[in-house]
Structure 1
Amino acid sequence: MFMPSVLAPGTHSIAVNGVAQHYHVSGIGPYCIVHAGGPGIDASYLRLPLLEEGLTMVYLDPIGTGSSGRLATHPQGYSVDRFSEQLLAFIDAAGIPDPYLLGHSHGAFVVLEAALKRPGGLAGLIMYAGAAYTGGAFMADASAEIAAFVARHAGMAEAKAVERAWASIPTIRTDAAYTAALRDLLPAYMSDFRRWPDMLATLQRRLQATLLVGDGQVFDVRDRLATLQVPALVVTGTDDFILGPRHAALLADLLPQAQMRIFEQSGHFAHIEEACAFAEVVLRFTGRPGRALSGI
Structure 2
Amino acid sequence: MSDRLPSQHDDAPASGPLSPGTHTYTLAGVVQRYHVHGSGPVCVAHSGGPGIDWEYLRMPALEEHLTMVYVEPVGTAPDSRLPTHPHGYTRERYSTFLEVLVNRLGVPEVHLLGHSHGAFVAAYHALYRPERLAGVVLYEGAPVTGPEHGAEAARMVEAFAARHADHPGLPGVLAAFAALSGLSTDEQTTAAARGVLPSYFADFWGDEERLAPFRDAVRATYISGLDEDLTPDVIDDRAALKGLEVPALVVVGRHDVICGVRWARELDELIPDSDLLVLENSGHMGHLEEPDLFAEAVRRFVLRTGAQQAAG
Over 3 Å counting, the alpha-carbon distance change for 1:284 and 1:257 in structure 2 is: same
Deviation per CA, 1:169-225: give whole Å up to 9, x if none: 111111101111110100111111123212321122100000102320311111111
Query: 34, 39, 45: which is aligned to 2:56?
Result: 45
SS across alignment from 2:40: coil
Written as runs of structure 1 = structure 2, the 5 A alignment for 1:73-222 is 73-214=84-225, 215=227, 216-222=232-238
- Aligned pair count reads 288
What amino acid is aligned across from residue 36 of structure 1 in structure 2? S
What amino acid is aligned across from residue 192 of structure 2 in structure 1? A
Supply the distance in 2 between the matched residues of 1:98 and 1:55 (Cα, whole angstroms). 14
TM-superposed deviation, 1:147: 2.1
Query: 6, 9, 16: which is aligned to 1:5?
Result: 16
- Cα RMSD of the aligned pairs, angstroms, is 1.8
Supply the distance in 2 between the matched residues of 1:275 and 1:157 (Cα, whole angstroms). 28
Supply the distance in 1 between the matched residues of 2:62 and 2:38 (Cα, whole angstroms). 8
Q: Counterpart in 2 of 1:250?
A: 266
Supply the distance in 2 between the matched residues of 1:17 and 1:85 (Cα, whole angstroms). 11
Supply the distance in 2 between the matched residues of 1:99 and 1:129 (Cα, whole angstroms). 20
**Alignment partner of 1:260 is 2:283:** no
What amino acid is aligned across from residue 18 of structure 1 in structure 2? G
Deviation per CA, 1:109-151: give whole Å up to 9, x if none: 0011011112222110011001111133211221222222222
Deviation per CA, 1:198-253: give whole Å up to 9, x if none: 23211221000001023203111111112211111000100001111111111111
Over 3 Å counting, the alpha-carbon distance change for 1:231 and 1:247 in structure 2 is: same
Supply the distance in 1 between the matched residues of 2:240 and 2:15 (Cα, whole angstroms). 34
Supply the distance in 2 between the matched residues of 1:251 and 1:240 (Cα, whole angstroms). 15
Q: Counterpart in 2 of 1:273?
A: 289
Q: Counterpart in 2 of 1:232?
A: 248
* Maintained 8 Å contact 2:136/2:249: yes
Q: Mark the runs of 5 or more structure 2 residues left unpaired by the alignment.
A: 4-13, 305-312
Supply the distance in 2 between the matched residues of 1:96 and 1:35 (Cα, whole angstroms). 18
Deviation per CA, 1:36-75: give whole Å up to 9, x if none: 0011012101111111122110011111114761101111
SS across alignment from 1:235: strand
TM-superposed deviation, 1:17: 4.0
TM-superposed deviation, 1:92: 2.1
Identity level (%): 46
Relative to the length of structure 2, the TM-score reads: 0.88
Supply the distance in 1 between the matched residues of 2:107 and 2:192 (Cα, whole angstroms). 36
Supply the distance in 1 between the matched residues of 2:256 and 2:85 (Cα, whole angstroms). 30
Relative to the length of structure 1, the TM-score reads: 0.92
SS across alignment from 2:303: coil
What amino acid is aligned across from residue 21 of structure 1 in structure 2? Q
Deviation per CA, 1:56-108: give whole Å up to 9, x if none: 10011111114761101111111122111211122123434301000000000
Deviates more, 1:84-93 or 1:24-33: 84-93
* Maintained 8 Å contact 2:161/2:170: yes
Supply the distance in 1 between the matched residues of 2:210 and 2:74 (Cα, whole angstroms). 26
Over 3 Å counting, the alpha-carbon distance change for 1:256 and 1:205 in structure 2 is: same
Q: Counterpart in 2 of 1:14?
A: 25
Query: 26, 46, 52: which is aligned to 1:35?
Result: 46
* Maintained 8 Å contact 1:230/1:257: no
What amino acid is aligned across from residue 135 of structure 1 in structure 2? G
* Maintained 8 Å contact 1:61/1:67: no
